[in-house]
Structure 1
Amino acid sequence: MQAKNKTFRMGWLRATYLTVGSFINFLFAIALVASAYAYIIPPDKMIFASYLGLAFPVLLAANIIFILFWTIQRHHSALISIIALIACWNGLWNYTPIHIESDEAVTEGEKLTLLTYNVHNFNNYAPHTDDSPNPVISYIQDSKADIICMQEFSFGNSKNQLSLAQINSALSEYPYKHFTPGNKTPYSQSGIACYSKYPFQEITDIKYDSSYNGSCIYKINP
């Protein structure tokens, strides 16, 4: 009788252990699928979705561990994470692409180079001088891109900060410029900007309720 009770307790503990483990696995699987498609939700509508998308590699690793764990246990709960991986296959492929075939480089005809760059306040508004060039501006100059789209484009208002005049002077080979203002303080101003070697045919600013978000559509005919 005592042996039967012990066997019953062990069976109950194992069942509880497997049930709780499967439930936790299910939560991680749901989170993985949600993170894979978080890009669909605009960040100005739900900022949490953006952070969930950043957690994709961690959630992916956790689900792979769950698959290995349940496989060792020979338990059907391994299907939970397997189904989740199949459901978010597009997100998985985008995050870890395998370039089996590469496109041939264009060697003939005219080419247009585009640089999109989050300049992150130009290294905290570091001034650009001959003796001490701003590393972000130097990188842009060295790129020789035809069109530059910049996010977190910021400049200061004090003498010891990078000014808009310094930026324009350093990037003087781009005669066509457009700045979409976003957040503004007494000390600085930030937004997005486009510098181009070719004229803008049409510019459309996209308005947001938040001053921390911005978009702009440019039509350019090289």
Structure 2
Amino acid sequence: MNKFIFFLNIIAALLLLFSCLVPHISLYSISFLFVFSLAVPYLVVVNIMFLMYWLLKLRTQFWLSFAVLLLGYFSLGTFFIFFEPTPAPAEESVSVLTFNTQSFRGNSRENNPQLSDSIVKFIKEENADIVCFQEFDYSKIRSNDFKQYPFKYVNFKFGVNSGKVIQAIYSKFQIINKGSLDFPKSGNNALFADVIIQTDTIRVYNLHLQSLRVRPGSIRSEESQKLLERLGNSFVKQQEQAEIVLEHGNTTTYKKIICGDFNNSQYSSVYYDIKGDMKDTFMEMGSGYGRTYNFKFLPLRIDFILVDEQMEVLAHKNYDVKMSDHFPVMASIKF
């Protein structure tokens, strides 16, 4: 019996070990590898269970999972932060909030005025200095809902259908330059805005990478082969879009803040490529799972705030408010 259990243990350990390599492998040639980036939390839990089993049995086989878990921790980081850091004093800090609002409709395809009002109220109460919206409601452009933000950039023009997901950057600070990257052959895109904060100019990116369009219902109804093929193509597009963002970011000397919905986890090559030497505010000052997407049985963290390595992260907060299929995220930063 123990031999069979150890055989299963070896498979789980090898899968987790391989997952450690996935962020450093291009998805262009082997697109199915995206499965491993999503499965890391499960593989960690399974290996912990094997570790505990062998420890209770007082068997030396525990070293296998222990070694792989240790390697995974140092190469991938943790998906769960046990201790909640103490936020630093907010003096001279700038708060940044990112939120995929699903067009202010929540999980419904129909307009829900009550839910829309809840999102507006939430943004007003949190009162962040900069807000990055993905899947924005264009009707808010001409409203007074966000009048506390005198500066904004929305990739939408009335009377023009660009075919792109509507996004927005709202700011209390002056925007001196702005633009859209318009990913090719995709409805997704990225915005940027150069913002004057104190005596410095910061470039803020708002990303919405290629959507996977995965829902629990679609997984059950779609053929596995077609599902894997579709997801693999989406991950390849994400890789292309990440490179567009990186190339664009290299054209400026400004410090950068990158926010948005990456549609991929922190264990993906897409995340690693975009992050580079930047700080992940959750890893700096977050706690718990950091879940940002409401997906059954899987605590996915796919919405991020990344800041220049010269910036100090004072606080990070994941909100547990069900106003969309995503959860908002906010961080406080000191320059």
TM-score of the pair, normalised by structure 1 = 0.64
Q: Which residue of 1 aligns with 2:93?
A: 111
Q: 1:117 to 1:106 in 2, by over 3 A?
A: same
Identical columns (%): 22
Asked if residue 63 in structure 1 is aligned to residue 47 in structure 2, the reply is yes
Asked if residue 126 in structure 1 is aligned to residue 111 in structure 2, the reply is yes
Q: How many residues align?
A: 188
Q: Which residue of 2 aligns with 1:80?
A: 64
Q: Is the Cα–Cα contact under 8 Å of residues 165 and 188 in structure 2 kept in the other structure?
A: no
* Matched position secondary structure for 1:220: strand
Question: What is the CA RMSD across the aligned residues, in angstroms?
Answer: 3.7
The structure whose residues are more often helix, as a share, is: 1
Distance 2:117 2:28 in 1: 31
Q: Which residue of 1 aligns with 2:79?
A: 95
Alignment-mate amino acid for residue 211 of structure 1: S
Distance 1:199 1:51 in 2: 42
The alpha-carbon deviation at position 90 of structure 1 amounts to: 3.6
Q: Is the Cα–Cα contact under 8 Å of residues 155 and 180 in structure 2 kept in the other structure?
A: yes
Q: Which residue of 1 aligns with 2:189?
A: 214
The alpha-carbon deviation at position 210 of structure 1 amounts to: 5.2
1:117-157 superposed Cα distances (whole Å, 9 cap, x missing partner): 1212312463558xx8521122112221221011232x3xx
Q: Is the Cα–Cα contact under 8 Å of residues 164 and 186 in structure 2 kept in the other structure?
A: no
TM-score of the pair, normalised by structure 2 = 0.45
Q: Is the Cα–Cα contact under 8 Å of residues 153 and 193 in structure 2 kept in the other structure?
A: no
Q: 1:134 to 1:85 in 2, by over 3 A?
A: same
The alpha-carbon deviation at position 214 of structure 1 amounts to: 2.8
Distance 2:116 2:33 in 1: 38
Q: Which residue of 2 aligns with 1:7?
A: none
The alpha-carbon deviation at position 62 of structure 1 amounts to: 0.8
Distance 2:47 2:11 in 1: 10
- The answer to which structure, 1 or 2, has the higher relative contact order (CA under 8 A, 6+ apart) is 2
* Matched position secondary structure for 2:135: strand
Q: Which residue of 2 aligns with 1:173?
A: 148
Distance 1:93 1:65 in 2: 19
The alpha-carbon deviation at position 98 of structure 1 amounts to: 4.3
Distance 1:212 1:79 in 2: 47
Q: Which residue of 1 aligns with 2:165?
A: 190
The alpha-carbon deviation at position 204 of structure 1 amounts to: 4.7
